[in-house]
Amino acid sequence: MSGIAYIVSAPSGAGKTTLCKMAAKEFPDIRNSVSYTTRKQRPGEVNGVDYWFVDDAVFDGMVSRGEFLEYADVYGKKYGTSKKDLDAMLEKGMSVILEIDVQGAANVRKRMEGGVFIFILPPSLKAAEDRLTGRGKDTPGEIKRRLGIAAEEIRKAPEYDYIVVNDDLDKAFETFSSIIRAEKARSARVKGALKGFFGGLIG
């Protein structure tokens, strides 16, 4: 049985990355997709683990060769998901979490079938602002810009299959992990595997 692609989007400060990392630890068959980006590497980030950090020339070359499933310009920097990397993991039966913005998610929805789209919401924009300020990675100007974009992104939430409100991390992860378990058991996904056990009883 091939793996499942979970496409996860959220405004800045919603806790998306934390939830996705928790899921990768909870489920042995899940991996977080490593996107390519032209933004600068932050302290503590590891190339090939958090992102593949490349310059504009490398990124643009990948675009011209059609190597990205989706790519977008976010906050003035480019981000993209390698189609080859994703397909290789899914074919091995590994499920993959793609942390991508709403632009990228819209492109994936057009180009790939069977993806599960999940939107993570903060309890409020004020909570998102507090989280961004608390992590100390962005300037006040950058935080203001991210919050402005967040308001536009939140309007896209109803387009997703599931919405998770992260007002309490443990409760949010319980919901997030329940979605993953439910999708693994969806009849359309497991039908092929069950035929091997029940023969013609399952069409």
Residue 98 — pLDDT band, cuts 50, 70, 90? very high
- Provide mean pLDDT across the span 75-100: 93
* pLDDT category of residue 200 using cuts at 50, 70 and 90: low
**pLDDT tens digits, one per residue of 102-112:** 988 999 999 99
* Cα distance between residue 96 and residue 86, in whole Å: 7
Top pLDDT among 202 and 1 is at 1
Where does the pLDDT of residue 117 fall: very low under 50, low under 70, confident under 90, or very high at 90 and above?
Answer: very high
Q: Over the chain, what is the mean pLDDT? A: 89
Domain spanning 5-188 has what CATH number? 3.40.50.300
**Distance (Å, rounded) from C-alpha 168 to C-alpha 156?**
22
Mean predicted confidence (pLDDT) in 122-142: 82
Residue 136: the pLDDT is 75
CA-CA distance, 141 to 137, in Å (whole number)? 12
